[in-house]
Structure 1
Amino acid sequence: MTRTWQDIAKAKQTALLDSIPPEWRVPTDIMPPDSQLDVTGFPRDSGFFTKDELKYTTAKIPEILQQIHSKAWKAVDVAQAFSKRAAVCHQLTNCLSETLFPEALERAKFLDDHLQKTGEPIGPLHGLPVSLKDNFNIIGKDSTLGFVSWVGVPATYNTVLVDVLLKAGAVLYVKTNVPTAMMIAESVNNTFGRTVNPLNRKLTSGGSSGGESALIAFGGSVLGVGTDIGGSLRIPAACTGIFTLRPSFGRFPTANAKSGLAGQEAVNSVNGPMARTLDDIEFFAKNVVNSEPWKLDPKCLPISWRPVDVGRKLRLGVIWNDGIVVPTPPVRRALKHAVEKLQEAGHEIVDWEPELHQEAMDLLAQFFVADGAKSVRDILAPVDEPFREEMLPYAQAKEIGVHEMWQLQAKRSKLCKDYLDRWSQAGLDGILCPTTPFASVEHGKFKHVGYTGVFNILDYSAVSFPSGIYADSELDKAETGIKTLSQMDAQIQAEYNAGAVHGMPVSLQLIASRLEEEKAVAMTRVVLEGLGVAA
């Protein structure tokens, strides 16, 4: 009897849950009820974790590495603690797509034995657990990208970044959930279902790296790697109040990663780190770049991590709105607060009008469906999997010809040149703006990626960071009678629910020019100091 796509998906979900050891299954009597929205305190408050497990999973990267390398902690104990916490996070948020628990413990034991015998760590990440977004291929594991037809099709080779991390001594223990084809701003698909936000399970953890953001916000990972083609690192980081770096194409290796739009290179997908601190973001960036990944990935640029001094005073352009959608009240308040604090600290802030942003977003939308969604249709077809409603633009797409595609790419190149000229003439160090219009949002209501997607078209470096401001239902009430910028804006403002996002962290975004990852990180550090927020 032929199995339906629903049968295959259900079997995959069951297999994933069965991969969690019985002793890591949350007992019914302490399982948080559905009415408990914030589950981030569960590891600390439930009594389900030992003191050592909490110690390992709340430590920062430098402490984890120092303790393992000094042999005070065993890598296998650390790997087991993070594996258990990730397993619990999955039971509460549906954040995982694959588990590697036995392999992770075997790998950690090997690292411990090596350190004991030689006295030397294998590399700078020796013993550090690292989580990965689902599209990073690991030999023997599925990379479904949410597609049911890719269930049971294990990878036969590693993504280059996987090999880089393993050579550096990392322990890989889970892969995390994504939306279908990684092309929805919320992490939901027909294979695994929806990942929810551990800070408030009625809200999205974002997409497409939403499994990663949920896992890190819960403390189930200290360092994760996601990807970004229209905001897929920055949106989920903003929805959960963590840090991320969106690099320009070529800084970090992307070879042999899996894609739902393979061959689409008009807008390049990039990968980058997601973590709880800016220091951890920089740690990843330095170690990956300094491993000389250009020797493994032909599209990776031979640029080592460069020290940069941005000075104590910055000249920043501020985007109050992108001309398409006005940020919701908590985001507007956070941006206003940031500008005031930075001006008090002596930084020069100038208004930056969103010229060319609408054109950039129009181009982005056309590039994504230029093949008439043939790539996606071909993957859905073998099991008759339907398009999800979130992918309506793909379901309705018509293929364009080569000539028309070339004209779009020519427009993109001109737009990039015009934007660069304007940036240079203004003498900016960077741009400060919202990461998204939201302090997260209820499931199914994330509708605008304009604040991130424009910088994918430009290929600029960007850091999303928590601003230190939290949404407040009293301070951030919906405004009535305001003039909206577009039909999309009117819909977003009408749907805004101050009570639903009360208490959620609000993130902002700092943009540097192309291939200025070091400057983006350094400027963010200066901005955080001005805001009084820990890096």
Structure 2
Amino acid sequence: MPSKQDWEKIAAAKRAALAESIPTEFRIPQDQLPPESQLNVTTWPKESGWFTPKELEITESTASQILKKVASKTWSAEHVTAAFCKRAAAAQQLTNCLSDAFFDEAMQHAKALDEHLQRTGQTVGPLHGLPISLKDNFNIRGKDSTVGFTSLVNDPAGYNATLVDVLEKLGAVRYCKTNVPTAMMIAESVNNTFGRTVNPLNRKLTSGGSSGGESALIVFGGSPLGVGTDIGGSLRIPAACTGIFTLRPSAGRFPTQRCRSGLAGQEAVQSVNGPMAKTLDDITMYSKAIIDAQPWKLDPKMLPIPWRSAEPPKKLKIAVLWNDGICLPTPPVTRALKETAEKLKKAGHHLTEWDPKLHQTAIDLLGRMFVADGGKSVEAVLAPTGEPYRPEMQQYAEATELGVHDMWKLHLERSELQRQYLEQWMSHEGLDAILAPTTPYSSVPHGDFKYVGYTGVYNVVDYSAVSFPCGVAVDKEIDRPVADYKPQSDFCRAAHDSYNPELLHGMPVSLQLIAQRLEEEKVLALTDMVLQATQ
């Protein structure tokens, strides 16, 4: 067994190489760095004077706005890419959100796109000239996909993930990859290779996980749109921690082929990928572009379902999940849910309540699926460098492997749970969606994100869900800790013990809207209706 020193040396060298990959002109001068005491660094780009007015204009724009400006030749793809590379470099220096940066290649690609537009008068595709950031697990030929493990450093991919090829064909520019937790199986983005990503809105808080590098980069303005993944909440949790939008699609809509997995071969609950951005319009625009590219012709697991324009009824029927019976939401989340529900009622929508009677079963199933191999997948990747388990992954170190017979029984339990959940849904005649907390928290101090039940249940049943900022922010005067609550579980006690309204003051609160399986178009349209009614 290699000595402990091996993994630490590898990690230190990888971090040094990442720092070195940031061009000199994109390194923030010491005298312009915000002080450590400045918790919210999202204001720094405007305040610092380090960015030109044009760079700020570009990086404050939405993805849809950027596409129009590039297509009309108002902006060049080269200038747009340069601006986002610079802002991504700043985000890395202030929040530790990247795992790789390849800005020179991005600039060459952007120039080629500009030349094509100049020569032909046509864009390459619907994402022409748009810089898109990618979570670390998306394989890019010649680049590492470490998913946080030191043994996967200097192990470059020999091929692109299918989605990476699709994005290139559509005209997107890839320029960086973003940090994740070890094996992408922790709800905060921390690992032994790159360390911890912090939340740009408050650096004492987590940006979530496992797509927390993405959420930090996007809310800082270092990416107009990024792609993350979700197996238990890994898109929705980081989106909620930073107050941005995301879509968790059902399996079969967006291509997952040839990505690196933290638990390779685990398919009892399927990982999916989806977009993260500052606006719902950008999420919809991206989703349509990917589905219009007919990914089922490239990835055999994709379903041949073209984009279907959704026309929801004018008055919606929404079931509210107030509390899942396991972990009571913290005060700002409960308030956000109440205020949103009241506004929806006022707008004439019909509200009912969702009984979380199946949620404990779903969460138990999810936990058993993740460790069904007895932690062997994680152990096999830790072992070559002697890398230790992180404390957040203790359940993998202690897990017992299921035999094939027991695994098959687990699949039967999952299928029965899915049947029961659908039956419960259909018992609410004409139900359009469930409105629920995305998490019990707005965000949490580093190390305190313990409960993923509100997101994980919808991975088990494979429903489409959008996490969205609902316009409510934590208010330390209003959102006081609940004095006489009775904890529903250890998770519940931990959530309320760590709740600190002083520290969280001003943080955005997100909710999620859930439609049925494969209703991506519908849940996006429904979320738009909810936003219109509430903001």
TM range (shorter): over 0.9
Correspondence 1:491 to 2:494:
yes
Give the equivalent residue in structure 1 for 2:526.
523
Give the equivalent residue in structure 2 for 1:14.
16
CA distance in 2: counterparts of 1:67 and 1:509, whole angstroms: 32
Q: Residues 64 and 285 of structure 2 are in contact (CA less than 8 Å); yes or no, is this contact kept in structure 1?
A: no
Give the equivalent residue in structure 2 for 1:462.
465
Give the equivalent residue in structure 2 for 1:336.
338
Give the equivalent residue in structure 1 for 2:204.
202
Give the equivalent residue in structure 2 for 1:257.
259
CA distance in 1: counterparts of 2:237 and 2:313, whole angstroms: 29
Give the equivalent residue in structure 1 for 2:435.
432
CA distance in 2: counterparts of 1:257 and 1:460, whole angstroms: 22
Correspondence 1:417 to 2:416:
no
The residue type paired with residue 531 of structure 1 is T
Cα deviations by residue, 1:267-317 (Å, 9 ceiling, x for unpaired): 000000000000000001000001000010000000011011112211010
After TM superposition, the structure 1 = structure 2 runs for residues 128-527 of structure 1, keeping only pairs within 5 Å, are 128-427=130-429, 428-527=431-530
Give the equivalent residue in structure 1 for 2:89.
87
Q: Secondary structure at the match of 1:499?
A: helix
CA distance in 1: counterparts of 2:463 and 2:166, whole angstroms: 24
Give the equivalent residue in structure 1 for 2:70.
68
Moved more, 482-491 or 195-204: 482-491
The residue type paired with residue 83 of structure 2 is A
Give 1:41's match in structure 2, choosing from 4, 18, 43. 43
Q: Residues 218 and 225 of structure 2 are in contact (CA less than 8 Å); yes or no, is this contact kept in structure 1?
A: yes
The residue type paired with residue 480 of structure 2 is K
CA distance in 2: counterparts of 1:488 and 1:16, whole angstroms: 36
Residue 500 of structure 1 and its aligned partner are, at CA, apart by: 1.3
Residue 491 of structure 1 and its aligned partner are, at CA, apart by: 2.0
Residue 66 of structure 1 and its aligned partner are, at CA, apart by: 1.6
CA distance in 2: counterparts of 1:128 and 1:70, whole angstroms: 13
Residue 61 of structure 1 and its aligned partner are, at CA, apart by: 2.0
Cα deviations by residue, 1:500-520 (Å, 9 ceiling, x for unpaired): 111000000000000000110
TM-score, normalised on structure 2? 0.99
Q: Residues 42 and 220 of structure 2 are in contact (CA less than 8 Å); yes or no, is this contact kept in structure 1?
A: yes
Cα deviations by residue, 1:95-131 (Å, 9 ceiling, x for unpaired): 0000110110000000011111111111111101000
Q: Residues 414 and 460 of structure 2 are in contact (CA less than 8 Å); yes or no, is this contact kept in structure 1?
A: yes
Q: Which runs of 5+ in 1 are unaligned?
A: none
CA distance in 2: counterparts of 1:71 and 1:487, whole angstroms: 57
Residue 336 of structure 1 and its aligned partner are, at CA, apart by: 0.5
Residue 185 of structure 1 and its aligned partner are, at CA, apart by: 0.1
CA distance in 2: counterparts of 1:400 and 1:266, whole angstroms: 13
The residue type paired with residue 197 of structure 1 is N
CA distance in 2: counterparts of 1:119 and 1:480, whole angstroms: 65
Correspondence 1:25 to 2:27:
yes
Q: Secondary structure at the match of 2:239?
A: helix
State percent identity of aligned pairs.
62
CA distance in 2: counterparts of 1:86 and 1:62, whole angstroms: 19
Cα deviations by residue, 1:515-535 (Å, 9 ceiling, x for unpaired): 000110010000001101xxx
The residue type paired with residue 184 of structure 2 is M
Moved more, 472-481 or 447-456: 472-481
Q: Secondary structure at the match of 1:432?
A: strand
CA distance in 2: counterparts of 1:62 and 1:229, whole angstroms: 28
CA distance in 2: counterparts of 1:505 and 1:214, whole angstroms: 14
CA distance in 2: counterparts of 1:423 and 1:448, whole angstroms: 24
The residue type paired with residue 404 of structure 1 is D
Q: Alignment RMSD, CA only?
A: 0.9
The residue type paired with residue 191 of structure 1 is T
Q: Residues 219 and 242 of structure 2 are in contact (CA less than 8 Å); yes or no, is this contact kept in structure 1?
A: yes
Residue 62 of structure 1 and its aligned partner are, at CA, apart by: 2.5
Q: Secondary structure at the match of 2:504?
A: coil
Residue 496 of structure 1 and its aligned partner are, at CA, apart by: 1.1
The residue type paired with residue 435 of structure 1 is T
Q: Which runs of 5+ in 2 are unaligned?
A: none
CA distance in 1: counterparts of 2:256 and 2:151, whole angstroms: 23
CA distance in 1: counterparts of 2:314 and 2:531, whole angstroms: 12
Residue 220 of structure 1 and its aligned partner are, at CA, apart by: 0.5
CA distance in 2: counterparts of 1:348 and 1:198, whole angstroms: 37
CA distance in 1: counterparts of 2:497 and 2:179, whole angstroms: 30
Moved more, 27-36 or 458-467: 27-36
The residue type paired with residue 296 of structure 1 is L
Residue 52 of structure 1 and its aligned partner are, at CA, apart by: 1.0
CA distance in 2: counterparts of 1:411 and 1:274, whole angstroms: 32
